[in-house]
């Protein structure tokens, strides 16, 4: 990686960037919300566009000199609309959380009722967690999953009928099954609620057509751009035409000032990449790799929440081994695998400790891993669970992980 100017100006930061590149190069990345962008996306993120202030919408800015960023932002909007089949797209949100916040600000008033997925069952902070704005300022009821790790749609309907929410939120940060957006729409219509689908995790799968799309059903579709979509860190808020003006006002001036035009350019490039045939192949391989990893872990005696995955992620349930997600995530890091602790349904541990580890395949699939490689990864993970106190055993597992990493280097021209 060429960072010669950073080395001249700030050797301390340059050193940490180089070390981070080395870490990524030599680590099997299984954090489900991480990926590896293209060099083109990275170049846009670090381009001269970072110098430009551009409050407002394209062609309706509060600053002069926006003629070029106007075109770039418009390109990003049109690509998002085309890729996801939506009426309107605002590409300015700085993150997925702000993409969701814009919908809440537009669609709700403080104290309005919301029905969202419980964080401990696979939802997201912004779906109504009491420590987040969504739970602090709105009256939230939550739904979850059954013993099979599946959304209980009858329970969602019952809670909707009881709570009478103004907004129902579907989508998840840790849910391994196909989401029935049509069923959510039927429930929302029955109680007169608006429907928001947060597809931050599955956006790349939806874009590639390997997961059903919420676009025909949801009033609002929100996403990040840096997970399975493989773009820069950022968000997009999409909606039906009748909500467009209100959503735009909610983003600016409602929750943000100037947009990050360098990141919007990177979003545009990522959206272009996601529209190519090879991205469809990639997204299909993400699912194949996840399924191979889940089956490989179960073959090694591990438990997976729900017993399978239909998308890019899964949760390793450690309860029968008497181990915590926090401890095992640290052990996995020792053997060269990064993952994150995560709750399992009805978790006896706190969210800071957890009984599970979430695993995902977008980043390793970008590197080129295939099903056989995921079986080896499963063996390494299982070995780490069984040998978590064996220093030599962990060292051997580290060598196996490093061998895989060297087989699939990142950023090789």
- The residues annotated as belonging to the active site are 53, 55, 198, 224, 227, 233
Contact at 8 Å (CB) between 341 and 357? yes
Q: Which two tokens stand for residue 320?
A: 């029968």
Contacts 24+ apart (CB under 8 A), 271-278: 271/76, 271/79, 271/80, 271/83, 271/229, 271/231, 272/79, 273/38, 273/40, 273/41, 273/230, 273/231, 274/83, 274/204, 274/207, 274/208, 274/229, 274/230, 274/231, 275/79, 275/82, 275/83, 275/207
Q: Strands 139-143, 113-117: parallel, antiparallel or unpaired by DSSP?
A: parallel
The rounded distance, in Å, linking the Cα atoms of 234 and 318 is 32
Contact at 8 Å (CB) between 203 and 225? yes
Q: Which two tokens stand for residue 150?
A: 């599946």
Q: Which two tokens stand for residue 10?
A: 């700030």
Helix (H, G, I), strand (E, B) or coil at 315: strand
Closest among 222, 232, 182 to 202, alpha carbons compared: 222
Q: Which residues contact 274 (CB under 8 A, 6 or more apart)?
A: 83, 204, 207, 208, 229, 230, 231
Which residues in 179-251 belong to E strands, given as ranges?
A: 194-198, 220-224, 235-239
The rounded distance, in Å, linking the Cα atoms of 162 and 145 is 18
Contact at 8 Å (CB) between 127 and 169? yes
The rounded distance, in Å, linking the Cα atoms of 126 and 116 is 9
């Amino acid at each position: 990686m060429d960072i010669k100017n950073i080395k001249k100006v700030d050797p301390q930061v340059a050193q940490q960037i180089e070390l981070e590149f080395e870490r990524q190069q030599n680590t099997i990345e299984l954090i489900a919300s991480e990926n590896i962008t293209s060099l083109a996306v990275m170049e846009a993120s670090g381009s001269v566009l970072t110098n430009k202030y551009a409050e407002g919408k394209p062609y309706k800015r509060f600053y002069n000199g926006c003629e070029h960023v106007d075109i770039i932002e418009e390109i990003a909007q049109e690509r998002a609309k085309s890729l996801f089949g939506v009426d309107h797209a605002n590409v300015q949100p700085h993150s997925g959380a702000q993409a969701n916040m814009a919908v809440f600000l537009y669609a709700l008033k403080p104290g309005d009722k919301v029905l969202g997925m419980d964080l401990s069952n696979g939802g997201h902070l912004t779906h109504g967690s009491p420590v987040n704005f969504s739970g602090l300022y709105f009256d939230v009821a939550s739904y979850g999953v059954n013993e099979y790790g599946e959304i209980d749609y009858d329970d969602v309907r019952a809670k909707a009928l009881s709570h009478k929410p103004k907004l129902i939120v579907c989508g998840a940060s840790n849910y391994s099954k196909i989401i029935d957006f049509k069923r959510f729409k039927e429930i929302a219509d029955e109680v007169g609620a608006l429907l928001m689908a947060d597809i931050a995790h599955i956006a790349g799968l939806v874009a590639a057509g390997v997961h059903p799309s919420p676009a025909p059903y949801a009033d609002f579709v929100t996403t990040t751009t840096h997970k399975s979509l493989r773009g820069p860190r950022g968000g997009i808020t999409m909606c039906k035409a009748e909500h467009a003006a209100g959503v735009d006002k909610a983003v600016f001036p409602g929750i943000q000032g100037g947009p990050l035009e360098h990141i919007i350019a990177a979003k545009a490039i990522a959206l272009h990449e996601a529209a190519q045939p090879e991205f469809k192949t990639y997204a299909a391989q993400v699912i194949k790799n996840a399924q191979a990893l889940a089956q490989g872990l179960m073959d090694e005696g591990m438990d997976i929440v729900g017993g399978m995955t239909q998308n890019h992620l899964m949760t390793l349930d450690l309860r029968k081994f008497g181990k915590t997600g926090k401890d095992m995530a640290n052990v996995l890091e020792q053997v060269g695998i990064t993952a994150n602790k995560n709750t399992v349904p009805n978790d006896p541990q706190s969210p800071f400790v957890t009984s599970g580890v979430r695993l995902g395949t977008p980043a390793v699939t970008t590197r080129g891993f295939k099903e056989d490689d995921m079986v080896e990864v499963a063996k390494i993970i299982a070995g780490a669970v069984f040998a978590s106190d064996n220093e030599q055993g962990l060292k051997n597992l580290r060598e196996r992980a490093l061998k895989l990493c060297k087989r699939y280097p990142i950023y090789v021209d």
